[in-house]
Structure 1
């Protein structure tokens, strides 16, 4: 996106449209990741992608939510920094699904052990509880989530 000759709203939208038509649903604008909901199942979230993005530099591979998740995970574990991801978009944009992919990625790369597994289970099972407190019916979505972030703070204790 930063390589566009003109940075206008029309140019950005056109670039996103072209990428979307070619099944590139992720795009970077500097450190920000834009994700466009493909409204279909795609092979972007397999074990192959986990291996590709685990430990890689953010711009080493094509834009992906796993690159963002890996960077966040490494900052949390290696540097001991608390992490937060802001996921924004309109109803039906895929915010909840994106949050689930981030949690799933961290769960896959975080290793094992009973204490780590317990924290992973709690995080992955937290979604229905959060939905019970925060969903609403909107014009576009009968089950619209009103949360987009799950705290990962408790996980750092499990990794020591």
Structure 2
């Protein structure tokens, strides 16, 4: 097993966008995801990439009201969410008149 670098201190809430971490290493990334998962914050950004951690339970976070909240917003102005990525892709598609791609793995 490869060694994991020491993690950065992230406080009790972690960070919404891991690109803001001073030490962008495996230890800090995993620790931040753990903190957010324990707070039921299953979405986290790494720049324009959305990381989703399966919560193995249902959340009430996918209603029409949430869609409207993210509609037309600049990526990163609201907490990380799948709808933020969808809205950003749609806006870019309309603005640039070019297809967009979302990779789900």
* Shared fold (TM-score, shorter chain, > 0.5): yes
In structure 1, what is the Cα distance between the partners aligned to 2:21 and 2:74? Answer: 23
- Is 1:38 paired with 2:58? no
The equivalent residue for 1:8 is 25
User: 2 CA distance for matches of 1:82 and 1:72?
Assistant: 9
Give 1:67's match in structure 2, choosing from 84, 87, 94. 84
- Structure 2 distance, partners of 1:77, 1:87, is 22
Q: Which residue of 1 aligns with 2:66?
A: 49
User: Which consecutive segments of 4 or more residues in structure 1 shift more than 3 A?
Assistant: none
Larger radius of gyration, structure 1 or 2? 1
TM-score, normalization by structure 2: 0.77
- Superposed displacement of residue 67, structure 1: 0.6
Q: Distance in 2 between matches of 1:11 and 1:47?
A: 34
Superposed displacement of residue 4, structure 1: 2.5
**Is the partner of 2:51 in helix, strand or coil?**
strand
Partner of 2:42: 25
Whole-angstrom distance in 2 between the partners of 1:79 and 1:49: 25
Question: What is the match of residue 4 of structure 2?
Answer: none
RMSD over aligned CA atoms reads 1.2
* 1:10-63 superposed Cα distances (whole Å, 9 cap, x missing partner): 111011011011011110111111011111110111112111100111111001
Separation in 1 of the partners of 2:51 and 2:83? 13
| Corresponding residue pairs, total | 88
